[in-house]
Amino acid sequence: MELSRPHRLGRRAFSALAGTTVLGLALGGSVSSAALPYSGPGPVPTGPPPGPPGADGRRHRVALDRYSLLVDGRRLALWSGEMHPFRLPSPSLWRDVLQKLRAYGHNAVGVRLAWNQHSPAPGAYDFTGVRDLDLFLRTAAECGLYVVLHPGPYIGADVDAGGLPGWLTTVGARARTTDPAYLRHADEWLSRVNAIVARHQFTRGSGTVLLYRADTPERGDLDHLRERLRADGIEVPLLHADSPLAWEEPERTRDAAEARRLHFARLAHGSTLHNVHMAFGGTSWGWLPAPSAPSPTYDPTAAIDEARRPTAKLAPLHQLGHLLRHVPDFTRMTQAPAIRAADARIRVRRLVNPDTGAQAYVLRNDSAADVTSTVPMGGTEVEVTVPARDAKLLATGLHLGAGRTLAYATVQPMLALSVGKLDIAAFVGRAGEMAHLVLDCPNEPWPTRLDEEAAWTFDHGKLHVMVPLKEDRLTRVRVRSGETDRTLLLLFADDAASLRLWPYETPSGRVLVRGPELLREAALDGPVIRLTGATVDERELEVWAPPGITDVTWNGERVQSGLGRALSLMTVWPLPGVPDLVLPALDGWRRRTENFEREPDYGDEGWPVADRRTSHSTTPVPDGRPVLFADDYGFHYGDVWYRARLTGAFGLESVSLSYSTGAHGLLMAWLDGEPLGSHRPDGAGDGKGTWTATADFRLPRALRARGGDNNAPAVLSVLVRRTQHGQDAYRAARGLTSARFEGAAPDVRWRIMGAAAPDPVRGPLNHGGLYGERHGWHLPGYDDTAWEPGSPSAAPDGDRRQGVTWYRTTFRLDVPPEIDASVGLVLDGSPDLDLRVQVFLNGWNMGEYVGGAEGTPRTFVLPNGILRTRAAANTLALAVLSPGTAAPALGPVRLELLGSAAGGVPVKPVPSPGRRR
């Protein structure tokens, strides 16, 4: 059962169950004095949301009713953006992404923890360095974000085995069941996590962990988990498959229009527990990705991409997040009687707030053409255009300040807030459309056009404002009247301009900033507002702040400003953009070939003997043959080598090697150092992440006389790549599964070798069993002076050898400290190259390039922290696997600037231990 599926309890049945009383901890959290059901008279009314969360030292109450979460008696529409800390192995950059999530409208971050990242062996756990959960939770609190924690044990997420550790395949435990052997290990994992999480619970005031998600595929699991959490001191509510408010796991969306359709549809069904999957995708580096992950880039359509840049899908998420935060009407909406558009191609869902009377309309057009139709809104037939395969969210009845109510608008509300005696309301739409907004005004107002695009008219108590939305342009209209001293400022923006509107809540009041590409923080200090953020292009800066604020600083520097017509502080000169950066060329390469393991006299005496006869794998062990599965010998990730001594092999004609891998598996074989060939599995696997195949090799006549009674045993050497485990069948075998010989019946003695002991800093998923990895060729400080000069861009045409070739070089960057530069490594060769490339930066495995595979990446993001950007040396190593059909040449290999901004977060270098001498 998928935990995050929508709850199937019907709204009518749920309403009967809930009535108007609060369900308190019906989410399943353990009972505590900090999280009791709301006991006030009647339902909690619509009102201002709770302020931004933090580790404030005060006890807090968390409950829910059929509308929303309730935090200290206030309604909260949760707008969570998911990120996985383990997919960004640079703790300094966690702050960058978390600050962006908050700036883009999120009030919570959804976090999954991968058990396999923290546990290299039974009973061994590591929460330091890039696995420092305590640091991440502290940072989230400092950034003012709630945390929704999902520690598994199973998390899915296209992670090897769904996050289960490799060693779990060998202990006889049936994962995701009530098997006592499994629960014993799962309890140990959760207890280690909970010991940290308990210190960061929002209910205790010591952090911002608000909700705890559970992996409970069976009812017995849920009962057991509740006991586990109670024993570990976890008191925040528990989300599970039968929670009254469902934590839905929406499918990924490809573009802005699809994102609008998805999230507006959830809003139309009354959901106030929202999650964006993924808000930041990051990198499935090393051997982290499951077979279901097509590339190291995890979710390239995420709102913030792998290089930490905004994507085209971000605008609607930014707009909706701030709407849910700054327009409290949306926290208590119920479905209203249906209405119809004049054109049936537009489907309409209507919601109403029983406290305020405000109504929301979700208009959806699934047709292939733009549709213009009239829709009854607020007692008026309003003409609206909905683009093809898109959606709109419109509203009526919103209170926009003293005596002003929104009658209707053809554009979406984004925010409504008050700053001093100024009420500000922002509305957004697509560039090129005409925005039509109508205000109910009992008395004739005094509008002022602050930008030339706007026009208006007043008729029968209604102010009509018309604004053509232009690309990346904000239009402002000021509205005053004689009945109040409060001024209403209307802002109209297209998607691009909306991404430069930044509301921010300070302890002294709200502010609104316009202009820069990012606002990280705002602080009021006497008459000064201190802003930190980032710019890419030159941008004017406009600030609406509480009375008494007369000066502005930007990233610590005072900027000259004055009062503008929109009652804002406007900078006299634009903020500077980011300067151009020049990246170094990659040269000075050195190369060396390996796979010494193919040679018959290679010393494998220290390798484990593969002679087991039973296995906990779901893959059957061949009758009368030894277990060859890599996991059974402790090799769970990366490449695995096998060596077999064949005695009595005279006349051997062929060798058949059956093997099992994840996606893009590969096998290479040699007999007495001579290549037999390479092989790949065909087809789409078994649907659960496993590809099986049998490689049949006929021996050349010259090799058939090996292994006779009077000769030394023949040596068969086999390299198997891609031992990743499927999410649904994690115990399926990886590596060789059996071997068959024709023409002779030799006595066979197998040995096996994979990755060396897990790197204590980089973790168990960083490296595999290649000779170069086992001997530190990928690490900084390795002495490669004896290697021959040679570039991966070109190799001698005659160098068509089956096996592994390594390339190494060093380079330096000197990025100014105030610049946040995202750098990638680009492999510019032909996508049809039949090669596999493992990319290592300063010893960190950044992922694999698979030549000829559909959708394979050509650019590898090199995260700052692992990448030294401040006048320090970086070591780049490439391990190239070639089947022998082509030379191990990749074409041009270069660095590319993926994005840069003036104004980043301080970045500490991530430890990168070098070669031990």
Concatenate the DSSP letters of all residues of 172-237 into one string.
T--TTS--HHHHHHHHHHHHHHHHHHGGGBGGGTSS-EEEEE---SSHHHHHHHHHHHHHTT--S-
Q: What is the pLDDT of residues 280-299, one digit of tens each?
A: 999 999 999 999 998 899 99
State how far the Cα of 881 lies from the Cα of 887, in Å rounded to an integer.
10
- Which residue is it, tokens 């039974």? 122
- Are the C-beta atoms of 825 and 876 separated by less than 8 Å? yes
State how far the Cα of 421 lies from the Cα of 47, in Å rounded to an integer.
19
Query: What is the spatial order of strands in the sheet that 819-827 belongs to?
Result: 859-862, 819-827, 893-902
832 burial level (CB within 10 Å; 0-12, 13-18, 19+): exposed
Residue 219 CA, chain-centre distance (Å), reads 29
Question: Which residues are within 8 A (CB) of 80 and not within 5 positions of it... i.e. 6 or more apart?
Answer: 106, 107, 108, 109, 110, 146, 148, 274, 275, 276
Question: To 5 degrees, how large is the angle CA 841–CA 753–CA 645?
Answer: 140
**DSSP letter for each residue of 195-210:** HHHGGGBGGGTSS-EE
**Pick from 302, 318, 299, 307: nearest CA to 88:** 307
Q: What is the DSSP letter of 363?
A: E
Please tell me the predicted confidence (pLDDT) of residue 30.
37
Please tell me the predicted confidence (pLDDT) of residue 907.
97
Please tell me the predicted confidence (pLDDT) of residue 64.
83
Please tell me the predicted confidence (pLDDT) of residue 5.
31
Other CB atoms within 10 Å distance of the CB of residue 217 = 17
- Are the C-beta atoms of 425 and 491 separated by less than 8 Å? yes
Q: Which amino acid is at 520?
A: R
Q: Which amino acid is at 743?
A: G
Please tell me the predicted confidence (pLDDT) of residue 282.
96
Does this model's pTM top 0.75? My answer is yes
Question: Which residues are within 8 A (CB) of 710 and not within 5 positions of it... i.e. 6 or more apart?
Answer: none
φ/ψ region of 570 (left if φ > 0, alpha if ψ in -120 to 50, else beta) reads beta
Within 198-333, residue ranges assigned H as helices are: 219-231, 256-268, 314-326
Please tell me the predicted confidence (pLDDT) of residue 32.
38
Give every residue of the chain whose pLDDT is below 50, as ranges. 1-38
Please tell me the predicted confidence (pLDDT) of residue 65.
84
State how far the Cα of 869 lies from the Cα of 410, in Å rounded to an integer.
48
